[in-house]
């Protein structure tokens, strides 16, 4: 049962990663919009203070507002369906969108039958909302998550079902939509009565999280790191970035040419909404602390890297330095920490626990000092999303103080544990056996190198061949592979492709960590398998 639950959670984490992957781009576009419409920027870049740039910024910012408000639910419905569909993902996306439409219209009609439709003047605080011009119960992002899961389940179950005789035309993707249409109607009726109760529970839980103060923030930061080996950290941060667990704020935005106050939920959504009308904001709201995970990525891990370098064996320091600096570059620029984390996760797990604790404490300090800076990933996001907003609104220079302090803590904690416990971090591994090589060894080495040149061929061979592969997907840094059996893999062959780590989840699921180059590798594998 434990393995089954873990497997299902990991599948969901893979699915939710699809919409989460695109939303940071929305944040960057909001940052650009704020640059063009921010009166303070004009003092630094005077030529931006003209109608062309100002109007472009307004169009860009206001066109993005519906994505983080009205249409966030449909984004998650379609994204999760794509991420969790085992095959025919394009049909899953189309059916997911249609199912979303069926659900909201079914709910609206049923609410009318039950006389639950409210006058527009009474909507605020009622738990109702206007979605695509019609009134429904406000389920927020949870509607998108629930529908995405249901669509994916039905799609996977019925996509291969072929009907016979005259009904043959209604098989496959058509049958999926037929089943989902009735499912959406039933779900809409049930949700109309049940969701207000569920929403009350969610609101109570969000209030509890807020009341826990720094303990809640530490727990969030700790879980965000400690769950990385399982991939379940993708279930943690989106909840706080895009739902009311990360706060709820009334933000003044422009709609139809007029300024109106709109309720936004989730740290990232609130921040983006504030950027859309930045001149009306005197200081970013406190909720942005939930989106400060990048402070460890940009600053703190420097201390861990320096400690591992200094404690490496003298003869290994040059190689260790090259490996660690490359990994740190990915962390600073793109916010990808796994190459560093996997360098000590399995050889020195106590360091990973220490890492998660220090990361959580860094966010606690961030909150105690009342810093309002968003640090979602790497240094590019950090600079683009904060400097134009202004020091008074964000206190962003304090991030350097906290970050350097965190790096110092990392250094001394890691150095102490490595030397005291003689941990096998990079450069401290046991020496390999020294031997003389024969001509046969040389020939074998050359054959291996030739195979490795085509990385897709090597990976497929290492995974047990085409016949052993059920599905291959990827997230930011990992190939997520479903196999007929992980017992058929050959780790020696996979290691020729120089992964950061190979992780067996269970008898069917495997993760191979390659870092930010994983998408390119995945494309090569797809081309190889399809041809």
Give the catalytic positions in this structure. Answer: 475
Judge contact between 379 and 269, C-beta under 8 A: no
CA distance 95 to 183: 13
- DSSP characters for 340-406? HHTTTTTT-HHHHHHHHHHHHHHHHHHHHTT------SSHHHHHHHHGGG-HHHH-TTHHHHHHHHH
Instruction: State whether residue 259 is helix, strand or coil.
Output: strand
Beta-carbon-side half-sphere exposure of residue 526 (alpha carbons within 13 Å)? 10
Strands (E), 204-352: 248-255, 258-265
Beta bridge partners, 480, equal 473, 511
CA dihedral 442, 448, 452, 454 (to 10 degrees): 110
Alpha-carbon distances, residue 230 vs 5, 7, 57, 235, 349 (angstroms) = 12, 10, 40, 11, 14
End-to-end CA distance of the chain: 38
* Alpha helices (H) along 114-253: 140-158, 173-211, 214-226, 237-242
Q: Any idea what the Cα angle at residue 366 is, between residues 363 and 367, rounded to 5°?
A: 90
* CA gap 274, 263 in Å, rounded: 11
CB 413 within 8 A of CB 388: no
């Amino acid at each position: 049962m434990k393995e089954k639950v873990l497997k299902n959670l990991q599948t969901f984490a893979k699915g939710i990663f699809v919409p989460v992957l695109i939303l940071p781009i929305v944040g960057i576009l909001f940052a650009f919009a704020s640059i063009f419409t921010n009166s303070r920027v004009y003092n630094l870049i005077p030529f931006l203070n003209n109608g062309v740039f100002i109007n472009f910024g307004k169009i860009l910012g206001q066109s993005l507002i519906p994505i983080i408000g009205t249409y966030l639910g449909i984004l998650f419905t379609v994204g999760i369906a794509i991420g969790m569909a085992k095959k025919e993902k394009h049909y899953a996306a189309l059916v997911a969108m249609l199912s979303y439409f069926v659900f909201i219209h079914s709910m609206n009609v049923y609410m009318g039958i039950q006389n639950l439709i409210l006058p527009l003047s009474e909507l605020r605080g009622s738990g109702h909302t206007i979605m695509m011009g019609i009134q429904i119960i406000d389920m927020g992002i949870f509607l998108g998550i629930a529908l995405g899961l249901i669509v994916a389940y039905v799609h996977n179950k019925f996509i291969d079902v072929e009907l016979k005789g005259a009904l043959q035309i209604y098989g496959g993707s058509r049958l999926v939509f037929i089943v989902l249409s009735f499912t959406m109607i039933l779900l809409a009726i049930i949700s109309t009565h049940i969701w207000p109760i569920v929403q009350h529970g969610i609101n109570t839980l969000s209030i509890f999280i807020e009341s826990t103060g720094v303990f809640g923030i530490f727990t969030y930061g700790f879980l965000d790191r400690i769950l990385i080996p399982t991939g379940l950290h993708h279930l943690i941060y989106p909840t706080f970035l895009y739902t009311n667990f990360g706060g709820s704020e009334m933000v003044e935005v422009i709609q139809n040419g007029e300024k109106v106050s709109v309720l936004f939920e989730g740290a990232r959504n609130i921040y983006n909404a504030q950027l859309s009308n930045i001149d009306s904001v005197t200081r970013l709201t406190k909720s942005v602390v939930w989106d400060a995970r990048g402070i460890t990525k940009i600053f703190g891990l420097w201390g861990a890297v320096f400690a591992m370098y200094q404690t490496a064996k003298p003869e290994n320091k040059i190689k260790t330095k090259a490996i660690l600096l490359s990994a740190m570059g990915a962390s600073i620029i793109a916010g990808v920490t796994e190459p560093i984390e996997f360098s000590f996760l399995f050889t020195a797990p106590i360091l990973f626990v220490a890492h998660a604790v220090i990361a959580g404490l860094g966010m606690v300090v961030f909150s105690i000092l009342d810093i309002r800076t968003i640090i979602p990933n790497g240094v590019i996001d950090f600079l683009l999303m904060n400097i134009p907003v202004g020091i008074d609104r964000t206190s962003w220079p304090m991030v350097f103080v906290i970050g350097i302090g965190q790096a110092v803590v990392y250094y001394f904690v890691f150095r102490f544990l490595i030397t005291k416990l003689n941990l096998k971090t990079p450069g401290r591994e046991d020496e390999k056996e020294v031997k003389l090589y024969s001509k046969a060894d040389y020939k074998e080495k050359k054959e291996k190198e030739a195979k490795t040149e085509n990385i897709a061929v090597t990976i497929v061979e290492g995974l047990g061949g085409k016949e052993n592969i059920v599905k291959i997907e990827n997230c930011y840094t990992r190939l997520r592979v479903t196999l007929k059996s992980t017992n058929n893999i050959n780790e020696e062959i996979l290691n020729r492709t120089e992964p950061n780590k190979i992780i067996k989840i269970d008898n069917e699921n495997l993760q191979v960590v390659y870092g930010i180059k994983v998408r390119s590798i995945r494309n090569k594998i797809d081309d190889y398998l399809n041809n």
